[in-house]
Amino acid sequence: MKKILVLMPVEARHKAKLEAAGTGCSFTYSTPAAVTAEEIRSANIILGQPKADMIAASENLEWLQLESAGTDAYIVPGVLSSKTVLTNATGAYSQAVSEHAFALTLMLMKKLHLYRDEQKKAFWSDHGTVSSLSDSTVAVVGLGDIGQAYARLVKAMGAKVIGVKRRASNPPECVDELVMTQDLDSVLPRADVIMSVLPNTAATRYIYTAESFDHMKNSAIFINCGRGNAVSSEVLAQALLEGKIASAAMDVAEVEPLPADSPLWGIENLVITPHISGGFHLPATFERIVDIAAENLQAFLAGKTLRNEVDFTTGYKK
Amino acid sequence: MKKILVLMPVEARHKAKLEAAGTGCSFTYSTPAAVTAEEIRSANIILGQPKADMIAASENLEWLQLESAGTDAYIVPGVLSSKTVLTNATGAYSQAVSEHAFALTLMLMKKLHLYRDEQKKAFWSDHGTVSSLSDSTVAVVGLGDIGQAYARLVKAMGAKVIGVKRRASNPPECVDELVMTQDLDSVLPRADVIMSVLPNTAATRYIYTAESFDHMKNSAIFINCGRGNAVSSEVLAQALLEGKIASAAMDVAEVEPLPADSPLWGIENLVITPHISGGFHLPATFERIVDIAAENLQAFLAGKTLRNEVDFTTGYKK
């Protein structure tokens, strides 16, 4: 009888779904904050996100289903035993994050951040020309589920979409053109919007350098909804303050929470949201995560292949 | 030889387009600020927007092509001679205004106004649940070119769209359901978003009363991108401060500019933009206006029917 530890904020209907998928297993429900080391040590399956250092490479743990798409904390050597299968929740966040990035894109194009600032000062003043996706080229850097969902949104408003991904493939329907990540520099000068949704891997760390921003149009909008360390705070601040690009938005920061004394907070043409595009902010997201967990639980117990199994060498799903 | 007075901010390429359409006419170029009473009095055709009281019912004026969609200042008795044909620029603004209203919709749904406020205080804090158009019902009140363009945008993101218009017709493809304006109250309780883009007419003045907001969901978002007098500042403020609705955005105010001492400025869950959704803020808009003016000029000189002729009794195009 498999011992299953559930650390997701499940309600009765979610429990019913999981227990139906795991008939005959024993279920323990807790939270990442309340769970004990002994509960983690004895679990054969964990659904949810314990603190990585509490897992301590437990030999009992056969499978860990994360509720996040990011896997960085769990692929560090020593966190999981080599026999533990790791799956993530890739796919569950695509709607929430893509819609957030899309809203940020339109906010910047229509200068709504500047009008909000003026409102606080009771100023009725005109900030001039705005732009439209209908005559824009959008580079989507990172073309997983989120990137593709975002590409579909901007394309529906008339944008030309260049998808940037690390592996060659046939271009999905949502992009007009596909470019390999190694050729990113060739895309930057052509893009009116650069929306980056890269995970945290050795290859994506600080991928945007000061030179990357030199390549961008002065009118470009840069949006980071992936991981904060794709660009250093200094490089981004400099690009904005020197007018290398027009404006930017970030839902992620190099250090989170962004320190209160960071100069980024005060940059007018930068919009900051506190890593809330994903999480469970959109109710549909959590429903999808439970669906993935239930589907995988059934597959695991039947000895079948799991959805979203993570490749430890890349941090991506296999 | 018709005397044409052009008061639009035309560049060389626009002049070439207009003069090609008006071969054999005399062209005078000025601005609403610089134009003289004599230039207005002698013009047979005016392309652009003189101050209404300067026209003084000129008998020489055969046709006035406005650059705005709104006509309210020009249909007041005594402004235009009864023999002057009035046309507006309906259609030219649909892209700009619908995209602005769409950006405001997403800003409110994703709480980006609150995150902008937090940014100013260097706060990295979570504002909880957001919503999505994919499971929302959107009422579009006023289903002209702008309303229809907005309906297409929200529908592309998965919204159910209820169009509200004053005259019965077959529902256009961009709406799921069509309701007459007289039945507006029946629509309000069902809508997650109410986007109003009504012109200023006797029938639309203060159409949203305190009771209208009572009918709306507490979670509703109200957006006004039509004319400011569709709702009084007091009624809107009360609806927001009493939590009758979740949030609102307005690009238009009952009095414009909104007075610096208006309590509306300080309402956190209200977003204010200073009547900039239209105008010439999106470059494509002005190109379309010149196209309408040139097309109409050719038609006028050929004695043909003009596009966007205004019905003085309603203020709408005929």
Count how many Cα atoms sit within 13 Å of the Cα of residue B292 in the half-sphere of its side chain.
26
A25 exposure class (CB count in 10 Å sphere: 0-12, 13-18, 19+): middle
**Range 139-178 of B in CB contact (< 8 A) with A:** 153, 156-157
Of B107, B122, B132, the CB nearest to A265: B122
- Domain A3-92+282-301 adopts which CATH fold? Rossmann fold (3.40.50)
* Residues of chain A positioned with their CB less than 8 A from the CB of B256: 124
Distance in Å, alpha carbon of A217 to nearest chain B alpha carbon: 18
Distance separating alpha carbons of residues A52 and A56, to the nearest angstrom? 8
Mean pLDDT within A236-248: 98
- Specify whether the CB–CB gap between B182 and B164 falls below 8 A: no
* Residues of chain A positioned with their CB less than 8 A from the CB of B114: none
pLDDT above 80 for B317 = no
Q: Which two tokens stand for residue A204?
A: 């994506």
Q: Is A102 an interface residue toward B (CB < 8 Å)?
A: yes
Mean pLDDT, all residues of chain A = 96
Per the CB < 8 Å rule, is A273 touching B112?
A: yes
Q: What is the DSSP letter of A317?
A: B
Size of interface A-B (CB pairs under 8 A): 137
* Residues of chain A positioned with their CB less than 8 A from the CB of B132: 95-96, 99, 282, 284
pLDDT above 90 for A147 = yes
Give the pLDDT confidence score for residue B139 in this predicted structure. 98
Give the pLDDT confidence score for residue A200 in this predicted structure. 87
Q: What is the CA radius of gyration of chain A?
A: 21
Residue type, B145: D
Q: Is B33 an interface residue toward A (CB < 8 Å)?
A: no
Distance in Å, alpha carbon of B3 to nearest chain A alpha carbon: 32
Picking from A94, A282, A287 by the largest number of B CB atoms within 10 A of its own CB, the best residue to mutate is: A282
Distance separating alpha carbons of residues A15 and A6, to the nearest angstrom? 9
- Specify whether the CB–CB gap between B87 and B299 falls below 8 A: no
Q: Which two tokens stand for residue A259?
A: 């320190």
Q: For residue range B302-312, what is the model confidence (pLDDT) as tens digits?
A: 999 999 999 88
Q: What CA dihedral angle connects A117, A121, A123 and A128, to 10 degrees?
A: -20
Task: Give this prediction's pTM.
Answer: 0.91
pLDDT above 90 for A213 = yes
pLDDT above 90 for B17 = yes
Distance in Å, alpha carbon of B282 to nearest chain A alpha carbon: 5
Give the pLDDT confidence score for residue A312 in this predicted structure. 81
pLDDT above 80 for B262 = yes
Give the pLDDT confidence score for residue A47 in this predicted structure. 98
- Specify whether the CB–CB gap between B306 and B85 falls below 8 A: yes
Per the CB < 8 Å rule, is A256 touching B124?
A: yes
- Specify whether the CB–CB gap between A216 and A243 falls below 8 A: no
Mean pLDDT within B80-109: 96
The residue extents of the domains of chain A are 3-92+282-301, 94-272
**Per-residue confidence at B266, pLDDT binned at 50, 70, 90?**
very high
**Range 226-265 of B in CB contact (< 8 A) with A:** 256-258, 260-262, 265
Picking from A93, A94, A132 by the largest number of B CB atoms within 10 A of its own CB, the best residue to mutate is: A132
Q: For residue range A247-287, what is the model confidence (pLDDT) as tens digits?
A: 999 999 999 999 999 999 999 999 999 999 998 999 999 99
Picking from B99, B111, B121, B152 by the largest number of A CB atoms within 10 A of its own CB, the best residue to mutate is: B99
A94-109 vs B112-120: helix crossing angle, rounded to 10: 70
Beta B26-29 vs B63-65: how paired, if at all? unpaired
Count the neighbouring beta carbons within 10 Å of the beta carbon of residue B51. Answer: 13
**Per-residue confidence at A313, pLDDT binned at 50, 70, 90?**
confident
Determine what percent of chain A is predicted with pLDDT higher than 70.
100
Q: A94-272: same fold as A3-92+282-301?
A: yes
* Residues of chain A positioned with their CB less than 8 A from the CB of B273: 112, 115
Distance separating alpha carbons of residues B173 and B161, to the nearest angstrom? 10
The DSSP string of chain B is --EEEE-S---HHHHHHHHHHTTT-EEEE--TTT--HHHHHH-SEEES---HHHHTT-SS--EEE-SSS--GGGSSTTTS-TT-EEE--TTTTHHHHHHHHHHHHHHHHTTHHHHHHHHHTT----------GGG-EEEEES-SHHHHHHHHHHHHTT-EEEEEESS--PPPTT-SEEEEGGGHHHHGGG-SEEEE-----TTTTT-B-HHHHHHS-TT-EEEE-S-GGGB-HHHHHHHHHTTSSSEEEES--SSSSPPTT-GGGG-TTEEE--S-SSTTSSHHHHHHHHHHHHHHHHHHHTTPPPTTBB-TTTSSB-
Q: Is B219 an interface residue toward A (CB < 8 Å)?
A: no
Give the pLDDT confidence score for residue B70 in this predicted structure. 84
Q: For residue range A154-202, what is the model confidence (pLDDT) as tens digits?
A: 999 999 999 999 998 899 999 999 999 999 999 999 999 999 999 888 9
B71 exposure class (CB count in 10 Å sphere: 0-12, 13-18, 19+): buried
pLDDT above 90 for A24 = yes
Distance in Å, alpha carbon of A152 to nearest chain B alpha carbon: 10
Distance separating alpha carbons of residues B82 and B117, to the nearest angstrom? 52
Of A95, A127, A274, the CB nearest to B132: A95
Per the CB < 8 Å rule, is A99 touching B118?
A: no
Give the pLDDT confidence score for residue B237 in this predicted structure. 98
- Domain A94-272 adopts which CATH fold? Rossmann fold (3.40.50)
Give the pLDDT confidence score for residue B162 in this predicted structure. 98
- Specify whether the CB–CB gap between A211 and A231 falls below 8 A: no
Distance separating alpha carbons of residues A156 and B99, to the nearest angstrom? 12
Coil vs helix vs strand at A111? coil
pLDDT above 90 for A103 = yes
Of A113, A130, A281, the CB nearest to B130: A281
Give the pLDDT confidence score for residue B226 in this predicted structure. 95
pLDDT above 80 for B316 = no
* Residues of chain A positioned with their CB less than 8 A from the CB of B118: 274
**Per-residue confidence at B89, pLDDT binned at 50, 70, 90?**
very high
